[in-house]
């Protein structure tokens, strides 16, 4: 339990009884949250994995001393429809699997007694809940935390779409002054009264600003009040360079007594995208070197714990990532906290997802679907409004204009986003021509030049022609990637069939090397995002080294192995950490007598040794790569080693076997 002023919060993750809805004889099993029932069946390549209703029930003792207070249940994420019951009485439904939601249960519980809490989670296919389709798994269950929140009758409201009830609106920010409007939602369930609101800004223990406001609350009423604050010569949140944040504490007093308190981060920054020069943060150009991230991993599905998020972010930081697209849906609040903490520019989006290269559509033109999408957009913005890392709200991914045309609806979503948050620009991820590319303030494309046919050079042609034809368009790359299995090795470079069972790692490496050279040479591209940072589950896929996996990640699904392309980016993006990595170390059986040896490094020069014989030194090219061509191997085992010069040399090596006939050992 944690307490802040008179507010208490209790995590309700332990000891739930779980059964599927078809198990009517109540054969339950104990589970702890986070939990999903698809951690293994969806990841086994079973395309018709379980999609239906799972029942979660637990006993909740409501203390007698809580009578006279207010009780709220907060669910951080239930996929994808949740119906909640207290003592078998229905108290509410939430439709959408990736946002938090809150129900008040003050009048539904029995005080001083054990109460029944039942949640029916439904991940079945729906035509009026986003997303309709997607190249990822739709796990089921209560896969994020559940909280019991206890407040006084007058409180800072948690009921505004599960937001913190405090919005820090950065009305004007520059290096000389920051003007912020603090908007606070108050909720009163007693008689009319006067309250005092105090807003305090701190830099650690140092007080920066304190403002007080007196508010008159009507009986059983809710309102939003505003308190302006200004900071002279602010220290800015400056991405990876200096992700500094102030702390804002909003305190509510009644009769001189503190009755509620909420703390929020305040990262002051200003930024824009330029059609010719790209992204600028606090007046300084930054090349956004980003990745995309799905929220699942091997075995546990999307039922992730804090350590999983921390490991993912640590891998991003190691590689030198400074931007992330959290695809294709809102992710855990803790993930946004980590983005804030480490200064990673973030694209956050709603799950308005098209089918990619598969059947069906991502948009059905019916009122219930349109309203659900708007609700999910409001939830995304209000719940995560105060995160300084979030710089873009994403409206859609890979929609199609044939049939039910989503253009007018996307216009509505874009306008809704600007009403909810005028301070942040919108963007989208497209994969085709059409009107959809001109609706949001920024646009980005999902490009797979050199994987789904063609060659990397077509990416250069596309970018140059699009920029020339539409010079005012702010162009980004929202996805680019190629599949790779660490078990599929070849010592010659051959382009594979993407839908086949052979995904050689060296082709993914070549793909990323060539694509990044093109991207890095075009400053008008406002941001780029590798698809994907990690392999992820996609039950319908039958390719690579096993079914059920999208293997375009730079790191394996279990996070245990960094693929070669990871080290290419690390050497290019992370100049703070000395790197030397010998590529193709997993290709231990060589069939060609002459080999091309390649390494990625932050060093200016590298020397190659084969069986302790120097093959010469090579200068690093402009993309942290050194290559030796025509290197001869002897029959049998060969020790290949690369070394950097200097007092503190780096080295890397591998032992490979060369055989004229690899089938005779």
Catalytic residues: 398
Listing DSSP states for 214-230 in one string gives: EEEE-TTEEEEEEEEEE
Phi-psi region of 646 (alpha: psi -120 to 50; beta: other; left: phi over 0): left
Question: Residue 378 and residue 373: Cα distance in Å, rounded?
Answer: 9
DSSP H or E segment with residue 213: strand 206-217
**Quick one: angle between helices 505-520 and 564-573, nearest 10?**
30
CB atoms within 10 A of CB 317: 18
- Please, what is the Cα angle at 431 between 430 and 436, to 5 degrees? 45
Cis peptide before 452 (omega within 30 of 0): no
Question: Residue 295 and residue 326: Cα distance in Å, rounded?
Answer: 8
CB atoms within 10 A of CB 559: 18
Give the β-pairing of 2-4 and 16-20. unpaired
Strands (E), 340-450: 345-349, 390-397, 426-430, 443-446
Question: Residue 611 and residue 516: Cα distance in Å, rounded?
Answer: 33
Strands (E), 426-522: 426-430, 443-446, 475-480
Give which of 648, 636, 476, 490 is closest to 564, Cα–Cα.
490
Question: Residue 132 and residue 379: Cα distance in Å, rounded?
Answer: 18
Tokens 């995590």, located at residue: 11
Q: Are 172 and 178 in contact (CB under 8 A)?
A: yes
Percent helix / strand / coil, the chain, rounded to 5: 15, 40, 45
Give burial (CB, 10 Å; 0-12/13-18/19+) of 285: exposed
Question: Residue 601 and residue 160: Cα distance in Å, rounded?
Answer: 50
Question: Residue 225 and residue 221: Cα distance in Å, rounded?
Answer: 13
Give which of 270, 283, 444 is closest to 349, Cα–Cα.
444
Listing DSSP states for 598-646 in one string gives: EEEESSSEEEEEETTEEEEEEE--TTSEEEEEEEE--SEEEEEEEE--S
φ, ψ for residue 516, nearest 5 deg: -70, -35
Q: Are 277 and 341 in contact (CB under 8 A)?
A: no
């Amino acid at each position: 339990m944690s307490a802040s002023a008179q507010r208490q919060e209790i995590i309700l993750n332990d000891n739930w009884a779980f059964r599927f809805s078809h198990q009517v004889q109540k054969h339950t099993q104990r589970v702890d949250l986070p939990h999903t029932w698809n951690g293994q069946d969806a990841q086994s390549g079973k395309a018709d994995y379980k999609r239906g209703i799972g029942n979660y029930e637990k006993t909740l003792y409501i203390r007698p001393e809580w009578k006279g207070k207010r009780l709220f249940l907060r669910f951080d994420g239930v996929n994808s429809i949740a119906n909640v019951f207290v003592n078998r009485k229905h108290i509410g439904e939430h439709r959408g699997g990736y946002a938090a939601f809150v129900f008040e249960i003050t009048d539904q519980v029995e005080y001083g007694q054990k109460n029944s809490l039942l949640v029916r989670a439904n991940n079945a296919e729906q035509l009026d809940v986003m997303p309709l389709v997607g190249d990822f798994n739709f796990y089921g269950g209560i896969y994020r935390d559940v909280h019991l929140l206890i407040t006084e009758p007058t409180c800072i409201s948690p009921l505004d779409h599960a937001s913190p009830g405090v919005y820090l609106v950065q009305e004007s920010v520059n290096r000389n002054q920051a003007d912020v409007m603090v908007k606070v939602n108050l909720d009163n369930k007693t008689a009319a009264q006067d309250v005092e609101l105090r807003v305090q800004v701190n830099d650690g223990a140092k007080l920066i600003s304190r403002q007080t406001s007196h508010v008159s609350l009507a009986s059983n009423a809710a309102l939003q009040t505003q308190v302006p604050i200004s900071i002279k010569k602010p220290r800015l949140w400056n991405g990876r360079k200096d992700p500094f944040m102030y702390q804002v504490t909003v305190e509510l007093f009644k009769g001189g007594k503190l009755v509620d308190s909420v703390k929020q981060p305040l990262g002051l920054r200003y930024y824009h995208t330029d059609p010719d020069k790209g992204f600028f943060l606090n007046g300084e150009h930054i090349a956004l070197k980003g990745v995309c991230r799905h929220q699942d991993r091997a075995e546990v599905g999307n039922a992730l714990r804090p350590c999983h998020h921390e490991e993912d972010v640590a891998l991003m930081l190691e590689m030198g990532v400074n931007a992330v697209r959290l695809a294709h849906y809102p992710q855990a609040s803790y993930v946004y906290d980590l983005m804030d903490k480490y200064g990673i520019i973030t694209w956050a989006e709603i799950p308005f997802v098209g089918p990619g290269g598969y059947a069906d559509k991502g948009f059905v033109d019916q009122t219930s679907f349109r309203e659900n999408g708007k609700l999910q957009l409001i939830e995304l913005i209000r719940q995560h409004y105060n995160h300084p890392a979030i710089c873009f709200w994403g409206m859609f991914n890979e929609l199609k204009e044939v049939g039910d045309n989503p253009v007018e609806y996307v216009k509505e979503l874009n306008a809704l986003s600007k009403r909810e948050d005028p301070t942040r620009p919108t963007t989208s991820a497209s994969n085709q021509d059409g009107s959809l590319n001109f609706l949001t303030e920024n646009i980005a494309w999902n490009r797979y030049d050199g994987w789904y046919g063609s060659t990397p050079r077509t990416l250069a042609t596309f970018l140059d022609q699009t920029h020339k034809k539409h010079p005012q368009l702010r162009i980004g790359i929202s996805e680019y990637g190629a599949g790779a299995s660490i078990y599929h090795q070849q010592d010659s470079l051959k382009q594979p069939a993407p839908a086949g069972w052979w995904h050689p790692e060296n082709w993914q490496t070549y793909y990323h090397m060539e694509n990044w050279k093109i991207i890095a040479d075009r400053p008008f591209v406002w941001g780029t995002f590798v698809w994907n940072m990690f392999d992820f589950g996609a039950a319908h896929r039958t390719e690579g080294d096993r079914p059920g996996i999208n293997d375009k990640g730079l790191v394996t699904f279990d996070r245990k192995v960094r693929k070669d392309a990871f080290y290419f980016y690390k050497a290019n993006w992370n100049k703070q950490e000395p790197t030397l990595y010998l590529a193709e170390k997993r290709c231990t059986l060589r069939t060609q007598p002459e080999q091309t040896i390649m390494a990625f490094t932050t060093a200016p020069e590298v020397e190659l040794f084969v069986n302790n014989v120097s093959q010469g030194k090579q200068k690093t090219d402009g993309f942290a790569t050194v290559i030796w061509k025509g290197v001869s191997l002897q029959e049998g085992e060969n020790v290949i080693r690369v070394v950097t010069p200097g007092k503190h040399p780096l080295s890397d090596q591998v032992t490979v076997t060369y055989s004229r006939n690899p089938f005779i050992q």
